[in-house]
Amino acid sequence: MSIVRINVGPVHPSTHGVIRLVVDVDGDTVVNIEPHIGMLHRGVEKLAETRMYMQIPPYTEKLDYMAPMSYDEAYVATVEAAMNITVSERAQYVRVILLELQRIASHLLSVGFFCNDLGQMFTGFMWAFKDRDIILDLLQEAAGSRMFYVNMRLGGLREDLPADFEDHVLQTMNYMEKRIPEYVNYLEKNPVFIERTKGVGVLTREDAKQLGVTGPVLRASGVNYDVRRNNPYYVYSKLQFTPKVLQEGDNFARYKVRMLEIQESIRLIRSAIKLLPEGDAKGLPIKLRSPNPVNRISIVNRELPRGECMMYLVADPQKPYRLSIRSPNFINLAAINHLAKGGRFADLFSTLGSLDLVMGCVDR
Amino acid sequence: MNVTAANSFFNIPYWMGSGNIVSNLVGIVLYLVVVSITFSIFGYTVGWLERKIIARVQNRHGPTYVGMWGLLQNLADLVKLLAKEDVIPANADRMLFSASLPLLLALSIFIILLIPYSPTLQATNLGFGLLIIFTIMSFFPLLIFTAAFSSGNKFAEISAQRSVLVLLGYEIPILLVIAAIAAMSGGYNLSSIVGMQAGLHYLAFLMPIGFIIFYISMLAEFERPPFDLREADSELIAGWLTDVSAPSYALALFLDYARMFLGSVIMAILFFGGWNGPAFIPPFFMLVIKALLISFSIIIVRATTFRMRMDRALRLGWVFLIPLSLINIVITYLLFVK
C-alpha cells in the first residue's frame, strides 16, 4: 500500500484547538507527523514590551485558557522578583491553595478530553466538566470571575479570601475525594480503555530527558522532577510535597499521573488550610505607576499543570524591555512525532490527548 | 407453478394467497401502512430516546426547547438538513457517490419487509427468510465501501478500508450462530423459529453464548459503538460520511435508525421469542416492546464504552468470536439436536 498524506486540522473534532498535523499514513500505521503551529499566535511577548507592568497579566493569563490562574501567578512572581517585593506569609498560603485548585480543575479537564479522544464521546468529558465547574465556583468566590481572574497583585492578592471560603474548600475537597475513585473505577476497569492506553505512545526515560518534556509527561516516564520539589517556591517545602512518578511512560501512565496529582493536590490544599496563618493577603493595588524594578534580569520557573514554565524578564523602569516565556506545551508538542510514529492512526489522537496541549500556550 | 404449489413453497398467509383480489389488495395496503408507520415512529422515538438517555447519562438535559420534552427537535433538525444545498465534491465519482446511500436505505427497507411481525402481519413467509436477510445484509459494508471510496476524501478512504475489514471479521460469526439456530428449529423460516420459542423457551436463555456473539457482531455490523470504526468521529471526522452534505446526511441518519430497527427486531425474533408473550398484549406490540428494550440496551452501550481500535476489533472477531461460535454449534447439537 502506498503512503497517503492526510491533513488533520486545523478544524478537526479532536485536535485540542487549532493545530494542523500533516500525517503520512501507510495503511493504518503512522509513518510521519509534521505539526504546523502558529494559528493562535497573538504576540504576547511583543505586546508585553508596550505595556506597563501590571497591564500585562490579562495577556499572560490567556496563554493557557485551561489554567489561567497559574500563568497569572507566574508572571506576577517574575515582576515581584524584579522589584524585590516579598509576599506576606498568608498570601503565600492563599496562592498555593488557589494554584492547587486550578491544577485540579485543569487535570480533570485533561482526563475528560482524553476520554473523548479515545472515542467515548462526551460521557467522561461531561462528568469531568461538571466536577471542574465546582472548582471554578470556588475560584470565582475567591477571585470574582470564572475563567480569567487577574487576581494576583504585587506582594499578595487583589482581595483577601472571603469569610467562609475555607469551609467551602474543605467541603469540596471531601466531595472530590469521593469522586476520584469513581473516575478510577469507571476508566481502569474498562478493558477497552486499558487495551488502548497501556503500552501505547511509550516515551522512555532517556528520550523524555532528551526531548526536554516537563510536567506529568516527564513524571510518567520515570523522571523524578517537579519544580515544586526541586526548586520549591512559596510554602511547598513546608507542606511536604512529594512528586508522583510512574515508570511506564505510556498513555496510561500519563493519565494516571494526572489522577494521582489530583489526589496530591487535595492533600496539599487540606494541609495548607490547616496551617493558614492570620493576617492580610492583600497586595499593592493597581496603579499605572508601579515601583521601579531593582534587578535588570529576573528568571522565575513554576510548575504549571502542563509542565514547567519559565519567565525571563529584562526590566526597564516602568515596563518590560523583553519578556520571554518558556511554554511547557510547545516543548511537549515536539515529542508527538517521536511518540506516535509507527503506531496506529487511531492512537495518534489519544497520544495527542495524553500530552494535554493548549494551543494558546504553544503559539503564545 | 399452480397456486397451491406456490402457496406451499412461499407459505403465503391467508389474506394474500386466497380470497378475491379486493381483499388481497386491502391486505397488501394495510400491511404496508402498518409497517411503514411502525418503522417511522420507532425510528423517530429511538432517535429522540438516544439523545435523551445519553444526555441523562452525561448529566445534561438533552433537547428541551422544540416541542414537549424536546420531542420535535429531531424533526426540526431534519427540516434544517433538508433545506440545505446538496454538494457533491469535485473529485467524487458522481454516479456512485449519489447512488450508494439511497441504495443502502432501499436494501434495509427491503429487509424490513421480509420480516414477519406477527402470525398474521407478514408480507411473505419464506422458508429460507433468515438466510435471505443476512445475504442482503452482507451487501451493506460493500455499499459503504463504494460510498466512501467514490467520495474521493482521504478520511473516507481509511473508513472504506475499515468497512471491508469489519465485513471480514464479523460476518462469519453471525452466519455460524444462524446455522446453530437453524439446526435447532430445523430450517431458516422465521415464523417457525418464533414458534419454537413459545413459553419462555427463549433462545437467549437456551443459547447464551450464541446470543452474546450475535449481539456483539450486530453492533459491529451496524457500526454502533464500541465498533463505530467507520464513523469514528474523534479520528476520521465522520468517516465515510465526511463529504456527504446535508440532505444526504439526513438520509444517512434515517439509515442509522432503520438499521437500529432492523437489528433490534431481528434480535427480538431470533433470541427473545418474537411476538410470544402474555395473551393480553397483541403479538405485534409485544415484538415492538421487545425491540425497544433491545434498542435501549444498544444506546446504553454507546453511552459507556470506548471505541475499539481496528486491529483489536479484528482480533476479537477472529480469535474469540469465530471459535466461540463453532463451540456454540457443537453445544447446540449435543444438547438440542441429537
Summarize pLDDT for A202-228 with one digit per residue, the tens.
888 998 989 989 989 999 998 999 888
* Residue B8, pLDDT score: 42
d(CA A349, CA A114): 9
Compare all CA atoms of chain B with the CA of A12 and give the residue at the minimum distance.
B237
| DSSP designation for B18 | S
Question: What is the domain extent for residue A38?
Answer: 3-357
Q: How far apart are the first and last CA of chain B?
A: 36
Query: Whose CA is closest to A235, among A91, A78, A70, A71?
Result: A91
d(CA B49, CA B62): 10
Which positions ≥6 away from A167 have C-beta within 8 Å? Answer: none
**Residue A77 belongs to some domain of the structure:** yes
Compare all CA atoms of chain B with the CA of A4 and give the residue at the minimum distance.
B154
Give backbone dihedrals phi and psi of A314, rounded to 5 degrees, phi first.
-105, 120
**Residue A364 belongs to some domain of the structure:** no
CB pairs under 8 A between A and B: 86
- Predicted structure pTM score: 0.86
Question: Chain B 81-140, CB below 8 Å of chain A: which residues?
Answer: none
Strand A3-8 to strand A297-304: parallel, antiparallel, or no bridges (unpaired)?
unpaired
Query: Whose CA is closest to A99, among A76, A81, A115, A124?
Result: A76
Q: What is the dihedral of CA A108, A114, A117, A120, to 10 degrees?
A: -70
Residue A303's beta-bridge partner residues?
A: A308
**Residue A143 belongs to some domain of the structure:** yes
Report whether A30 contacts A341 (CB < 8 A). Answer: yes
| DSSP designation for A300 | E
pLDDT of B5 over the 50 cut: no
CATH number at residue A220: 1.10.645.10
> With an 8 Å Cβ cutoff, are B161 and A27 in contact?
yes
Report whether A333 contacts A35 (CB < 8 A). Answer: yes
Compare all CA atoms of chain A with the CA of B300 and give the residue at the minimum distance.
A123
**Residue A346 belongs to some domain of the structure:** yes
d(CA A160, CA A269): 17
pLDDT of A104 over the 90 cut: yes
d(CA B338, CA B327): 15
Name the domain count of chain A.
1
Residue A313 binned pLDDT confidence (cut-offs 50, 70, 90): very high
Residues in chain B closer than 8 A to A199 (CB atoms): none
> With an 8 Å Cβ cutoff, are A120 and B233 in contact?
no
> With an 8 Å Cβ cutoff, are A192 and B60 in contact?
no
* Residue A242, pLDDT score: 86
Query: Whose CA is closest to B232, among B139, B298, B163?
Result: B163
pLDDT in tens, B185-229: 888 888 888 888 887 778 888 888 889 999 998 888 888 888 887
Radius of gyration of chain A (CA): 20
Average pLDDT of span A9-27: 82
**Residue A362 belongs to some domain of the structure:** no
Report whether B255 contacts B101 (CB < 8 A). Answer: yes
pLDDT in tens, B75-101: 898 899 989 888 888 888 888 888 888
pLDDT of B13 over the 70 cut: no
Out of B228, B237, B312, the one facing A12 most closely (by C-beta) is: B237
Out of B59, B234, B309, the one facing A344 most closely (by C-beta) is: B309
Structural domain boundaries of chain B? 3-337
Task: Give helix then strand counts, H and E, for chain B.
Answer: 16, 0
State the greatest distance between any 2 C-alpha atoms of chain B, in Å, as a whole number. Answer: 63
CA A132 to chain CA mean position, Å = 14
Report whether B143 contacts B165 (CB < 8 A). Answer: no
Out of A6, A119, A127, the one facing B234 most closely (by C-beta) is: A119
| DSSP designation for A53 | G
| A234, amino acid identity | Y
